[in-house]
Amino acid sequence: MASPLALIMHEVAGRPQACGSHRHHPVDWPGFNASILSSMKSPQRLPLLLVAITAAAIIFAFVKKPPEQDVLPPPLVSLEKMGHLVSLKMNYSDVIEFTQPNAVDIPWSQWEVRLGSTRVLLVARGDCTIATDLRQARYEDIDERARTLSIVLPPPTPLQARISHDARNRGGSYFYAVTEQGLQAFIPSAQTRTTAMNNALGTAQKAVQAACSQPAVLNTAKENAATVMQATLAATGWMPTVIWEPLSSARP
């Protein structure tokens, strides 16, 4: 097969030249280009084209489409890991008055002699937290197409109620007065005094627990918990409806 250069030389050599003149006649460029293009159409390029087409078909056949993402289920496990959802913290402050009687038993009888009592005034300060146990949460009426569901929760209950034993200037509880009455004033007893103070603290602890269990406080905790749960699930693309279990049927 002749090369493009040989064709050029042949084309130029075949042109007639004028005698006694050093100028060449103009070259027929359209015919020249056609001759070059015809020479480049070699049958050897056909196998390369077939190989390229075959390789493209193989790559297209074996390329996997990305799998379709399934709709994620509600994040129930995440809620279980949250444990208790604290939705309300209530501060408590009250004055507790407690009287501890003191008596001496008469030997070999069922009678006793009252010596008096110890009166305690305690300024009780503390707080309590009310929480919902998310470990008992369960989902109902799940509609994956509409992304709606119902979440059933146990009612909130006091999680921790405590009397603060911090220093007085830091908001802790303190004894305002401890007085002895009756014969106890003349025969003071350190044991009776300590017992009276401890019993006053115990009474204050029960008072904090009772304050946290008031219906108005629990309803506020419910509203706060429902707001948090709706916002949490809405962030994942679900529209929840919060349903509270009756207090009697709540699981321990």
b/e burial code for range 5-16 (CB count within 10 A of at least 16 → b) = eeeeeeeeeeee
Q: What is the pLDDT of residue 66?
A: 57
Q: What is the pLDDT of residue 61?
A: 55
Cα-based torsion angle of the residue sequence 84, 219, 88, 151 in order, rounded to the nearest 10 degrees: 30
Element (H, E) at 116: strand 112-133
User: 63: how many CB neighbours lie within 10 A of its CB?
Assistant: 7
Q: What is the pLDDT of residue 246?
A: 87
3-state secondary structure of 222: helix
Q: What is the pLDDT of residue 43?
A: 54
Q: What is the pLDDT of residue 186?
A: 82
b/e burial code for range 36-59 (CB count within 10 A of at least 16 → b) = eeeeeeeeeeeeeeeeeeeeeeee
Q: What is the pLDDT of residue 21?
A: 44
Beta carbons of 200 and 192 less than 8 angstroms apart: no
- Rounded Cα distance between 130 and 85, Å, is 8
Q: What is the pLDDT of residue 42?
A: 52
- Rounded Cα distance between 100 and 114, Å, is 11
Residues in the chain: 252
Measured in whole angstroms, how far is the alpha carbon of residue 74 from the centre of its chain?
Answer: 13
Measured in whole angstroms, how far is the alpha carbon of residue 188 from the centre of its chain?
Answer: 58
Q: What is the pLDDT of residue 3?
A: 47
Taking the domains of the chain in order of start, what are their residue ranges? Answer: 76-249
- Rounded Cα distance between 16 and 239, Å, is 93
Which amino acid would we find at residue 40? Answer: M
> Which segments in the chain show pLDDT lower than 50?
2-9, 12, 16-25, 27, 29, 32-33, 36-37, 39-40, 77, 252
Measured in whole angstroms, how far is the alpha carbon of residue 108 from the centre of its chain?
Answer: 68
Rounded to 5 degrees, what are φ and ψ at 110? -95, 10
DSSP string, 25-91: PPP-HHHHHHHHHHHH--TTHHHHHHHHHHHHHHHHHHPPPPPPPPPPPP-HHHHHHT-EEEEEEEE
Q: Using one digit for the tens of pLDDT, what is the confidence trace for 30-76?
A: 554 455 445 445 555 556 555 566 666 566 555 555 555 555 555 55
Q: What is the pLDDT of residue 250?
A: 54
